Structure 1
Amino acid sequence: MKKVLLGLLVSGMLALAPEVKAQADAPAPIEYSERVPADGAGKTALYRRALDWTQNKFAYGPKSGMKADEGTGTVRVTGTSKVKRVDNKGKDQEVTVLFDFVFRANDNGYEYTVGSFRVVPDPKQPSQIITFDEYRTELRADKNNEKTHNERRLTAQTSSLASEAAMSFRSYMNSTPAEGHVGVAGGEH
């Protein structure tokens, strides 16, 4: 019985091996998205809270493309950050990364996405922007990628950036301002 189970286990692993290799060749786009139920909060209150975060707490500037629509409960903004690659001599080089934060509220909660990553590969040409996947393909094709590991390095940093922005937003949304009084009401001992 043990030999049969072991044989099936090994066969299954071998059958899945080609799929794993195919997935490694084409990395998934970097994105963080979440749907959050919010009982009783209301679409307008959620929208206003998200708008406040994007206007006052969004730490990825300069920000651009700010669009907000209270009627549909949507907020959208493009953020900017830096990631670091290394050159052939092992020195850090900053690369500008742009990404979109998109928020949608409804009567049952909200959903948000941190994604659509783009790269400004040459700081001297800030208008030249390519998708992160295109940039990752260029890094993978670089003859020094085996030494610098820039493809993996930038993928990890960008994934971390998406997660960090999402955690910041979710933390803000979860910290609802206190209403009413805290402690002993005036004059009572």
Structure 2
Amino acid sequence: MKNAFLGFLLGSLLLLSLPSLAQSASPVAYGEQVQVSGAGRRALYQHALAWSEKGFAYTPKMDVKADAAAGTLRLRGTGKVKTLDNNKPIETMVRFEFVFRATDNGYDYNVGAFEVVPNEKQPATTVPLVDYVAQLAADRTNSRTNNDRRVRAQASSLASEVALSFRSYMNSHEGESDDTVGLN
């Protein structure tokens, strides 16, 4: 009876830990669909484009693709994450993708596709964030530095920060119609 209970308890703990293991391998991203009444598709696109030109603080900004007819905007931004090496912080560049799409009922956006630039002298060489975090987790000093969790948390924070900046900007222009775009 004790062995059956112990086996059940061990099996339960294993099943409970599987979602947390699977969660750590998932990509870092933030996305949202927003319903907006009163603002047209063109106005929403124009507001998103204005934010990308004036309010997007994650530079250098790259690969900007704006399509007014489709109401879509796609660009890549840059941020930094820190790892620890011998208790000294080391900054590493990360790139992410921001994607916006205006619809007839509102808009949706996503911050994701994080990549790490492991060597700033070779900025064209990138590694997906999931792979970089896996490399950090395999490092023999990770039990002291927790660099894998540190980098993942910082990337999640960056995704939330970008989304908050964008949503705040869009909320400040909510309700403006197509007629008011471009007028002072």
TM range (shorter): 0.7 to 0.9
1:114 aligns with 2:132: no
TM-score by length of structure 2 reads 0.85
Distance 1:56 1:110 in 2: 19
Distance 1:55 1:116 in 2: 21
SS across alignment from 2:18: helix
Q: State the match for 1:18 in structure 2.
A: 14
SS across alignment from 2:151: helix
Percent identity between matched residues is 49
- CA separation of 1:15/1:96 partners in 2, compared to 1, >3 Å: closer, same or farther? same
TM-score by length of structure 1 reads 0.83
SS across alignment from 2:157: helix
Q: State the match for 1:38 in structure 2.
A: 36
- Cα distance, 1:19 vs. partner? 3.6
- Cα distance, 1:121 vs. partner? 1.0
Could you say which structure has the larger radius of gyration?
Answer: 1
Q: State the match for 2:179 in structure 1.
A: none
Q: State the match for 1:141 in structure 2.
A: 138
Higher RCO by CA contacts (8 Å cutoff, separation 6 or greater): 2
The answer for unaligned runs of 5 or more in structure 1 is 1-10, 180-189
Distance 1:177 1:23 in 2: 38
Q: State the match for 2:127 in structure 1.
A: 130
The answer for unaligned runs of 5 or more in structure 2 is 1-7, 177-184
Aligned residues: 167
Coordinate RMSD, CA, aligned: 1.9
Q: State the match for 1:71 in structure 2.
A: 69
